[in-house]
Amino acid sequence: MVLRRSIPASFFGMVLGLVGLGSNWRNASHLWGVPPVIGEAIMTVAFVVWAVLITCYAMKWIGHREAAFEEARHPVQCCFIGLVPASTALMAVVLAPHAHGLALLALVVGGAGHVLFSVWRVGDMLQGGREMTTVTPVIYLPSVAGNFITSIAAGTLGYPSWGLLFLGAGVFAWLSLESVIVNRLFHAQALPVPLRPTLGIQLAPPVVAVAAWLANTQGAPELMVQATWGYGLLQLFLMIRLLPWIMQQPFAPSYWGFTFGLTALSGTAIAMTSRGLTGAIADLAPALFVVTNVTLAVIIIGTIVRAAQDKLLPPAAPSQVTAVPTTK
């Protein structure tokens, strides 16, 4: 199947969701005493998925080069390419407890790749000529998501001075882009049905920012960090409100766009509770942990079913390759 059809870059969103779920269980093992092996098993699966995808994506540039270039030129799908270096940097979090040297290598390679791609992609967008209807939450990926993930990886490996630089870059990129995206969603035509699941990415920036802050600091979280988490909770409620509208698109790999934000929302609640935080966030942490696991289970099962039906990857036709991450 891999040889006949190419892997869309959006598939790397699966890695983000799986690492986020593994981090939830790692944090839960410290706070609630759940078996640590569960978190490590999920992290192992995340690493295997990343390794398979990175191999298949390299093969795409060798055996399906026209499809790769078409994806890179697409006004929406191009931004998913930012997940390739970002997910590589995220392997530092997976490997940190087991192989510090390899984790550092993943951080350096992934972080450098993120910076290069982000500067190239955002630099292109700053030159104008972009149709308003192509503005979606996917544009967060090259600058916001990559910066936050690199910040988390740097802080996890003990380089908070670097982590805070990436955190600052991610925060201000998020604040500047959110107004653009919300303006488009308010005033332009509705998102096409196949693109609606990508709205789940809107949940991620505030809570992944909190995760990046926690990775690079110690002690009880600041009030502004808790307030930022609250904005992420609001985004969750908005996504729930929009689910009937979003789910006009039958299950597709694009639903993985919900997973990194959702796992960050619950994971940071657990992490802040572990640091001694009490009150609303600590009270919500157990329920959010359950919701996260149930949601991820549904998405994982849906993905396996689609793979068994041979409907996970796009058709072989180059003209259809870039559309698959958001099509039925």
CATH code, domain carrying 99: 1.50.10.150
* Residue 147 and residue 174 in contact, taking contact as beta carbons nearer than 8 Å: no
Query: For 52-77, what is each residue's pLDDT tens digit?
Result: 999 999 999 998 899 999 999 998 99
Nearest CA among 11, 9, 6, 5 for reference residue 255: 11
DSSP 8-state class, residue 203: G
Give pLDDT tens digits for 168-222: 999 999 999 999 999 999 999 999 999 999 999 999 999 999 999 999 999 999 9
| Domain contains 322 | no
* CA distance linking residue 47 with residue 91, whole number of Å: 7
pLDDT at 317: 46
Residue 321 lies in a domain: no
In this structure, is residue 20 part of a structural domain?
yes
pLDDT of residue 37: 97
Averaged over 208-237, what is the pLDDT?
A: 97
Question: What's the rounded Cα separation, in Å, for the pair 196 and 242?
Answer: 9
Give the pLDDT confidence of 11-43 residue by residue, as tens digits. Answer: 999 999 999 999 999 999 999 999 999 999 999
Q: Count of alpha carbons within 13 Å of 129, Cβ hemisphere only?
A: 6
Percent of the residues in the chain that have a pLDDT greater than 70, as a whole number: 94
Question: Which two tokens mark 98?
Answer: 């087991």
pLDDT at residue number 320? 37
Summarised one tens digit per residue, pLDDT across range 108-142 is 999 999 999 999 999 998 998 888 888 999 999 99
Contact 151, 167 (CB under 8 A): yes
185 found inside a domain: yes
pLDDT of residue 194: 92
The confidence score (pLDDT) of residue 159 equals 98
- What CA–CA distances, in Å, run from 170 to 20, 80, 84, 144, 272? 18, 16, 17, 4, 21
Task: Report phi then psi at 153, rounded to 5.
Answer: -65, -40
Question: Phi then psi for 239, rounded to 5 degrees?
Answer: -65, -40
Q: Within a domain: residue 66?
A: yes
Residue 51 or 1, more confident? 51
In a domain, 316, yes or no: no
Mean pLDDT of 265-271: 98
Ordered alpha helix ranges (H), the chain: 13-31, 36-63, 65-73, 83-95, 100-125, 140, 146-156, 160-187, 204-215, 223-246, 259-274, 280-308, 318-321
Confidence of residue 311 (pLDDT cuts 50, 70, 90): confident
Cα 91 to Cα 23, 166, 203, 320: the distances in Å are: 12, 17, 22, 30
Mean pLDDT of the 274-302 span = 97
Sign for the CA dihedral angle at 305, 306, 307, 308 comes to positive
* Domain encompassing residue 34: 9-309
Q: Hey, what amino acid is at 235?
A: Q
Amino acid sitting at position 102: L
279: left (phi over 0), alpha (psi -120 to 50) or beta: left
Residue 318 has pLDDT above 70, yes or no: no
Work out the percent of the chain whose per-residue pLDDT is above 90: 87
| Calpha distance 302→306 (Å, rounded) | 6
Q: How many residues does the chain have?
A: 328
Other residues' Cβ atoms within 10 Å of the Cβ of residue 290: 11
Cα(first)–Cα(last) distance of the chain, in Å?
A: 18
What pLDDT sits at residue 3?
Answer: 47
Q: What is the pLDDT of residue 226?
A: 97
Mean pLDDT score of the chain: 92
The pLDDT value given to residue 316? 58
- C-beta of residue 203 within 8 angstroms of C-beta of residue 236: yes
249 domain residue, yes or no: yes
Number of domains observed in the structure of the chain: 1
Q: Give the residue with greater pLDDT, 314 vs 86.
A: 86
Q: What is the mean pLDDT of residues 234-261?
A: 96
Q: How confident is the model at residue 324 (pLDDT cuts 50, 70, 90)?
A: very low
What was the pLDDT predicted at 82?
96
Q: What is the pLDDT of residue 327?
A: 34
